[in-house]
A and B are shown apart, each in its own frame.
Chain A
Amino acid sequence: MKTRQIVILCSLALLACGATWFAACAGNARSSQRVAIGLGGMANAPVPASPSTTPSNSTTTYNDYSRSYDLDLGKGLAAAGQGAASTPPSSKPEGGVLWSKFGIDQEKGSTDYNNDGLTLDLEPNLNQPSAAFDPAPRPVNPTNTPAPTTTTTPPSVPMLGDIPLLTGNRFVARDSRRVISTTPAPSWAKDALSAANTEVWIITKPPAPPAPDDDTPGTGTLYTTLPVELDPQQKQVAVPLEHTDVKASIVGHLSGVEVTQTFHNPYSSKIEAVYAFPLPENAAVSEFVMTIGDRHIRGIIRDRAEAEQIYTEARNQGYVASLLTQERANIFTQKVANIEPGKSIDVAVTYFGPLTYSDGAFEFVFPMVVGPRFNPPGTSDGVGAVGRGNAGASGQSTEVQYLRPNERSGHDISLTVDIDAGLPIARVESVNHAVETRLQGVTGAHVTLSRNDSVPNKDFVLRVHVAGDRLQSALLTQADERDPTTGYFNLLLVPPASLKSVPRGPVEMVFVLDCSGSMNGRPIEQAKEAIERGLARMQPGDTFQLINFSNNASQLGARTLDASPQNIRAAREYLARLQSEGGTYMVEGIKAALGFPSDDLRPRYVAFLTDGFIGNEDDVLRNLYAGLGASRVFSFGVGSGPNRALMDSMARMGRGAAAYLSFNDSSGEVMDQYFDRISHPAMTHVTIQTGTSEGESSVCDVFPCRIPDVFVGRPVVVVGRYKGSAPTSLTVKGRCGGQEVSMIAQAVRAETALARKAIPKVWARAKLTELAEAAVVSDRPVLAAETRQTALDYSLMSAFTAFVAVDSSQRTAGTFGTTVNVPVPVPEGTRYGTTVQEK
């Protein structure tokens, strides 16, 4: 009897386990169904016309900027008499549409059975460790990946051409020049390679649905088209971001900026607004306040994952909440949940940052739009650029939606700048926008953006020219409020005037030109003008090289050329022939520029002219770091809204400097300033010590850790901490033209409220920048931990922290509504068709 009871109990236990499993499955199914309903607004990927009918026509719809189609491989049995006569299989591949067919074998490679212009190759995986591949740069590399080292391949592994069929290697489909898709080699490919009658099919498939997740809302795009009487060609798109107000204050070379975004719900149901927007790459974002009506709620800085979790929970329960996350050093995402119909919510962000000084002017920059980025195939953590309403089409972790050329939104921007330069102002110049300027005394000014120029589609660049040659090194100190025995300093290091009297020696000049599709039009013309001027500035004894890249890299000569009149002429002719099209494979340009042997007699200067519209910045910086050697990299950001974070990082890592070439800048002048800069030796090996009289204080935690070379006309900002009493001066030592040089910077205590607030934040932000760039070339986990802790201690945004604010005192009715992305215009001068992905 007892045994029977035990058996019954055990059976019940087993039944219960089974039931649990069943219930779990049912639960998942319910969960999936809920998600599927929520995703109802998402469109499936486009299915191109059948390749057997119009494959070549279909290729014209490919977008240079991403894999437009989600492709997969299938296999079938080849018909008799393989080749163009081969008929499509009678049964369609499950879950997709047959696109093209190939016969592949180890000796012949792939054979196009459809004669539709597509090719199918096996290539190494981009994400495999670089040690597995040939690191030597190659001038022309149509596959964009170096060949793998075949010596490590076991002889039993089948090969397609030079490439072994190893796990991780990929099939790459192309039309005549563009990569359409990369697909991991399927397990059956090995058989396909050895069987003569097996065809490989390229199959279009709809994108895989996102993983079920109860916390992810359904997405869709909800918009309203309003009548536009004045301009029937354009349709106005209602967006949940109504207005952006920018109030900036400048004191000396420090700035404090408050950006207020007004979100408004013009729809008839609740929404969550999502907006990807830019801020300066060196912005110390330290305050976040959400305003509902007349109530102000200060956001809390938290670990990013924790902040996201809180936001999701609040949103799902119907509370008004906002979340600010950082996707790149200069790209942020603002989310505001549960905006009720007709209601508005303001979110104010405050940041501090140093200004740059170049050739007689301080420059204040406020970026207004994120440029459309190119993400190489295989990238998933990039920044996608998609047309309005195409959420998820790019497959990237961050995505920006763009208005189409015939669309505009009501989102506008107002901006004011209050300036206290601390030096007499000669003039104030706005590079890209119409402004009204009112001078206030000798050293002050108030600048207002003109109402007629309030479309946020280009960087706001304000140059404050100071009178005469009166700029001197400036040292600001600020005691630590938590520990008065320590403090912070902020040093504007102006190069000694004596540098101007030392002429330069011969140099090796490498011009690298971005010829990708995003440079199409005015940007590439302007960049070519600049290089023309650079060629004219070459001197006898100099050598040079001209490299261009888009889908691959090419160069003028196999080696650097003497700056002879014949070679200069040849370079001009080569330059004139260059056109912009294709993707931005910047890594190829980096490798080509830094890869060939260095010249012991001449320092190498690399001038990189690009808009920087890429999503794989870390790859670029990693390759730059690896190949830099003794070279100096100078980046030139071209266009109305270049990727300044990348430009600055390249210059900082390359021990050079960044310059910007807006549409209203003279290409010749910018290049002349560059040559003026490198025409005198820089102050190198710069070190900073406390003045001789301050025995009781010392400096530490100086950033950048490796103080950059100081070029004529180009001061640098160095920040650090001191221990002991505040130093009254700092001694700067360095080398110049083989001589030891030193200079003394006298300290001034920070007196303004802005400076007192800004100095510790700017120091912490510089530390975060240093840690982020170190993390690019090192995967030490301690860097992430230190970044997170520094950001929390100083209440700063970073890749690991985020601001969250919740109004817990009232709950809105119903579910959290529809997620609406804020579409933005492409930057002025950038062509939508060559940069933004449709579907």
Chain B
Amino acid sequence: MRFLGLVAAIALMLALAPLRRELCGTSSRPHAQVGTRYATTTRVQPASMRARFVAVDIFIDSGQSPLAAYQVDFSATDDGPVKVVGVEGGDVGPFHAAPYYDERAIQSERVIIGALSTLPPDQLPRGSVRVARIHLMSSSATPTCTLTLTTAAGADAERIAATALWTLVQEDTIMRDSAHDNGTIERK
């Protein structure tokens, strides 16, 4: 009898779960979407009703050295899938154009970008400069990002000492990385 009672209770909970979702409009699982005709080759992740779009700014600080070239490797993780949905250029200047990304790496949501300027040293940026903005779709507003500065070079094409950092941008409200003590920033 006790066992039957348990079964009935479980049945009740299972039955009520979708009702709660319907009535409250919240879900512990993402809503499945209608399949598409192109779903034969790739399994498309169902879009969550809570999918968030966030932007991440990439800065490079070359100190007093003029920055002529860079390459960074960026990725982000979250509880759910994080998808790259755009790669934007940086501040007005030599790195303003949208940088090219590595076509193979992007397939695993890694953004490897780089840019090169042939401007004379006095026209190149120094100090901290925003070189790119990565647009993401994730399941939360604060995905965990990993950024690696692969290389930075000056006007003479020689490698220079520099650091790279990322900041999270949310609909015009910038949250500096210092606000997040999650230790996910990598600098080289």
Interface residues of A (CB under 8 A from B): 2-3, 5-6, 9-10, 12-13, 16-17, 19-20, 23-24, 26-27, 213, 215, 289-290, 294-301, 303-306, 308-310, 312-314, 317, 319, 321, 482, 781, 784-785, 788, 792-795, 799-800, 804-811
Contacts and interface: CB of A to CB of B under 8 A. Distances in A.
Nearest to A788: B41
Interface in B37-73: 38-42, 44-45, 47, 51, 53-55
Interface in B85-126: 85-89, 92, 96-101, 103-104, 106-107
Given A297-B135, A800-B41, A810 B171 contact: yes
Interface stretch (B18-26, B148-156, B158-166): B18-26
Contact of A804 (B42, B85, B103, B171): B85
Given A289-B98, A317-B53, 14 more contacts: A9-B5, A9-B11, A9-B12, A13-B11, A13-B12, A23-B22, A213-B34, A297-B135, A298-B87, A305-B42, A314-B53, A314-B137, A799-B38, A800-B41
18 contacts: A2-B2, A2-B5, A9-B12, A10-B8, A17-B15, A20-B18, A24-B18, A295-B89, A296-B89, A296-B98, A310-B85, A310-B137, A314-B85, A781-B41, A794-B103, A809-B133, A809-B171, A811-B53
A809 B44 contact: no
B182 interface: no
Nearest to B53: A808
A299 B86 contact: yes
A809 B137 contact: no
Given A17-B15, A784-B40, A800-B41, A6 B5 contact: yes
B33 interface: yes
B36 interface: yes
A300 B11 contact: no
A298 B15 contact: no
A808 B54 contact: yes
Contacts of A306: 42, 44-45, 83
Contact of A297 (B11, B15, B98): B98
A788 B44 CA distance: 14
A20 B38 contact: no
A309 B171 contact: no
B81 to A, nearest CB: 10
A5 B5 CA distance: 8
B125 to A, nearest CB: 17
A808 B19 contact: no
B92 A807 contact: no
A289 B15 CA distance: 48
A3 B4 CA distance: 9
Given A806-B86, A810-B171, A313 B1 contact: no
A303 B44 contact: yes
B79 interface: no
Contacts of B92: 294
Interface residues of B, number: 55
Contacts of B181: none
A623 B107 CA distance: 37
A604 to B, nearest CB: 38
B169 interface: yes
B84 A300 contact: yes
Residue of B40, B86, B99 with most partner-chain A CB within 10 A: B86
A471 to B, nearest CB: 34
Given A300-B86, A806-B85, A23 B23 contact: yes
Nearest to A290: B86
Contacts of A808: 53-55, 85-86, 135-137
B15 A296 contact: no
A304 B38 contact: yes
A2 B86 contact: no
Contacts of B11: 9-10, 13
A784 B41 contact: yes
A810 B169 CA distance: 9
B135 A806 contact: yes
B9 interface: yes
Contacts of B101: 298, 300
A810 B133 CA distance: 13
A5 B92 CA distance: 72
Nearest to B107: A792
A785 B98 CA distance: 30
Nearest to A9: B8
A793 B104 contact: yes
Nearest to A796: B103
Contacts of B5: 2, 5-6, 9
Nearest to B48: A313
Contacts of A317: 51, 53
B41 A313 contact: no
Contact of A795 (B41, B55, B103, B172): B103
B16 interface: yes
A793 B107 CA distance: 8
Contacts of A13: 8, 11-12, 15
Contacts of B84: 300
Given A13-B8, A808-B53, A809-B172, A2 B1 contact: yes
Nearest to A304: B38
Contacts of A23: 18-19, 22-23
A295 B97 CA distance: 8
In order of increasing CB-CB distance, the 6 nearest A-B pairs are A808-B53, A298-B98, A9-B8, A16-B15, A23-B22, A809-B55
A309 B47 contact: yes
A800 B39 CA distance: 9
A260 to B, nearest CB: 14
A3 to B, nearest CB: 7
A744 B66 CA distance: 51
A313 B51 contact: yes
Of B11, B38, B54, most buried by chain A (CB within 10 Å of CB) is B38
B19 A20 contact: yes
A533 B51 CA distance: 64
Give the one of A16, A26, A294 with max B CB within 10 A. A16
Contacts of B97: 296
Contacts of A20: 15-16, 18-19, 22
A359 B125 CA distance: 53
Nearest to A804: B85
B103 A793 contact: yes
Contacts of A793: 103-104
B136 A24 contact: no
Which of A3, A17, A24, A313: most chain B Cβ within 10 A? Answer: A313
* Most-contacted residue by chain A among B8, B85, B88 (CB, 10 A): B85
A167 B47 CA distance: 38
A310 B4 CA distance: 46
A6 B4 contact: yes
A781 B12 contact: no
A755 B15 CA distance: 63
Nearest to B171: A811
A114 to B, nearest CB: 41
Nearest to B34: A213
A325 B74 CA distance: 27
A807 B54 CA distance: 9
A6 B1 contact: yes
A298 B86 contact: yes
A301 B83 CA distance: 12
Contacts of A300: 84-87, 101, 106
* Residue among A20, A314, A785 with most chain B CB within 10 A: A20
Contacts of A788: 41-42
B26 to A, nearest CB: 14
Given A317-B53, A808-B137, A310 B171 contact: no
